[in-house]
Amino acid sequence: MKIGTDAILLGAFAEVEFSKNILEVGCGSGIISLMLAQRSRAIITAIDIHPPSVVEANHNFLHSKWAERMSVAQTSVQEFSSEGKFDHIVSNPPFFSDSMKSHRNERNLARHNDTLSPGDLAKHARRLSTDNGEFTCIIPTDAMDRFEQAFIAESMFPEKKIFIKPKPGRESNRVIIKFSSSKNQVIESTFIVRKSNNDYSDEYRKLTRNFHP
């Protein structure tokens, strides 16, 4: 799987500057964890069920400036256990439940929720979080209600929503949601990725200037 805009946005927007222990669920190549390592001093644990992705992420971690703070394990979140809890969990989760599948098994694992439903993700995010832990994900806008219902059932409530629009005048197709144990008024904002001429927007360039060469 190539590095996508979703991963870049989550890695740049997740509020981890003061986090101490971060878990990434479904790390792929490890790009999000690497971005979070660059933006924090946290100990970062990444997990994925896809063996080649774990190998790639481990290689990328070991060759980064933050190798001493990063680790990766091949496991599902359902089977993952840790001696300590995490104050921030992030995920760019699989989200297609009804769409046609690819003939590539790797792509199916990354994009379909056969192995990780919103309910499972919420249940285990709560299990692995500290009492005041936060969870941040990026999902399709039309999946927002399902994710919210799953997390609210686990007493984790939406705190912030960033609606991602591909271009001006278009409807949002992604939303970044931060959940926490506090039930407060939800803060909402909008972010546009590209200008009408398909160049990256000024706000996208500003957000990602420390990551893109």
Which pLDDT score, from 0 to 100, does residue 108 have? 43
What CATH number matches the domain at 5-208, 1.10.357.10, 3.40.50.1820, 3.40.50.150, 3.40.50.1100?
3.40.50.150
Which pLDDT score, from 0 to 100, does residue 212 have? 75
Which pLDDT score, from 0 to 100, does residue 213 have? 65
Q: For every one of its 213 residues, what pLDDT tens digit does the chain have, with 9 covering 90 and above?
A: 567 899 999 999 999 999 999 999 999 999 999 999 999 999 999 999 999 999 999 999 999 999 999 999 999 999 999 999 999 999 999 764 444 444 454 444 444 345 789 999 999 999 999 999 999 999 999 999 999 999 999 999 999 999 999 999 999 999 999 999 999 899 999 999 999 999 999 999 999 999 876
Provide the H-helix boundaries in the chain: 5-13, 31-39, 51-62, 105-111, 118-128, 144-152, 202-208
Which pLDDT score, from 0 to 100, does residue 129 have? 97
Which pLDDT score, from 0 to 100, does residue 116 have? 84
Complete DSSP assignment for 38-99: HH---EEEEEES-HHHHHHHHHHHHTSTTGGGEEEEE--TTT---SS-EEEEEE----BSSS
Q: Which residues pair with 162 in a beta bridge?
A: 176, 189
Which pLDDT score, from 0 to 100, does residue 95 have? 64
Amino acid at 111: R
pTM of the model: 0.90
The residues spanned by each domain of the chain are 5-208
Which pLDDT score, from 0 to 100, does residue 3 have? 79
Which pLDDT score, from 0 to 100, does residue 1 have? 55
